[in-house]
Amino acid sequence: MNRRQLAGKVAILPGASRSLGLHVARLLLDRGARVVICDVQPELNSDAAAFLQQSDRSSPFLYIPCDLACPDQIKNSFKKAIESFGRLDIVVNSLGIAYERGRAWPRVVGINFVTTILSK
pLDDT digits (tens, 9 = 90+) for 57-116: 667 889 999 888 788 998 899 999 999 999 999 999 877 666 567 667 666 666 666 666
pTM of the model: 0.79
pLDDT of residue 4: 73
Q: How far is the C-alpha of 103 from the C-alpha of 67, rounded, in Å? A: 16
pLDDT of residue 78: 93
Q: What is the pLDDT of the chain when averaged over all its residues?
A: 82
pLDDT of residue 64: 93
pLDDT of residue 9: 95
Sheet with strand 90-91: strands edge to edge: 61-65, 34-39, 10-14, 90-91
pLDDT of residue 109: 67
Asked if residue 93 lies in contact with residue 116, where contact means CB atoms within 8 angstroms, the answer is yes
pLDDT band of 55, cuts 50, 70, 90? confident
Asked if residue 85 lies in contact with residue 6, where contact means CB atoms within 8 angstroms, the answer is no
Q: Please report, for the chain, how many H helices and E strands are present, in that order.
A: 5, 4
β-partners of residue 91 are 12
Write down the domain spans for the chain: 10-118
Q: How far is the C-alpha of 82 from the C-alpha of 105, rounded, in Å? A: 32
pLDDT of residue 37: 93
How confident is the model over 17-29, as a mean pLDDT?
Answer: 89
Best CATH choice for the domain 10-118 from the list 2.10.109.10, 3.40.50.720, 3.30.1330.90, 3.40.50.300: 3.40.50.720
Phi, psi of 87 (to 5 degrees): -170, 170
| DSSP label at residue 110 | I
